[in-house]
Structure 1
């Protein structure tokens, strides 16, 4: 547990002790995101940068998620030649705000639609409405950081 003290006159509580920010190597980043869950996809939707939360699975060093056919990311990918990719970023994190500790992993690479005949790890969309478009992000860069008390 982090000891806290109150700043005089502000009513704000600050953590006591020092936090350290450390870089994570590629293997540790992959280990942290391997269970799957929810991440955020960052891309240009034609109107500027945007971020969309998606549930995903990790398939080797690639990330697979699904989206609706009418979704902006899918529409951007649908206009490409077969096999072409769009550069996107994908971020997953886990933080304990009470302890002010956690980690963040950023994956950057090329995303493309999967053809119906291509196999991939199965990801079941959380929303009830259909998400038939399957997207694969092939990692080019995987970086991460951990914040902790040491």
Structure 2
């Protein structure tokens, strides 16, 4: 499997292992450590398009497939799939590896063609500057 995008698996492993963006998700924190220590999963995640966040895109692709209705034990760990009946995230690693092996072609297709939209505070600065420039030319407030 040839990587498209992130080629440095060690760097990618660190991003999954210490993904601060998943502080609010016990499931993704647990799965991140699994991905970080599994070369197959890292190579799969590295298929993300250049410029994308491979951590976000990988988990989004997995979640998208689960939401699309594919049947797999991994769904039992997702509160978005089973609500309060979700299994403890610490046990989800084996299910993730199995899921990715089963749906590898579908995941590759998503990783290589889809984009993720994240909330990045730095991007809002350009918007603010643009609104200030427009506001200087208008009499009424810019909303």
Bigger relative CO (Cα 8 Å, ≥ 6 apart): 1
TM-score normalised to the size of structure 1? 0.22
Higher strand share: 1
Higher helix share: 2
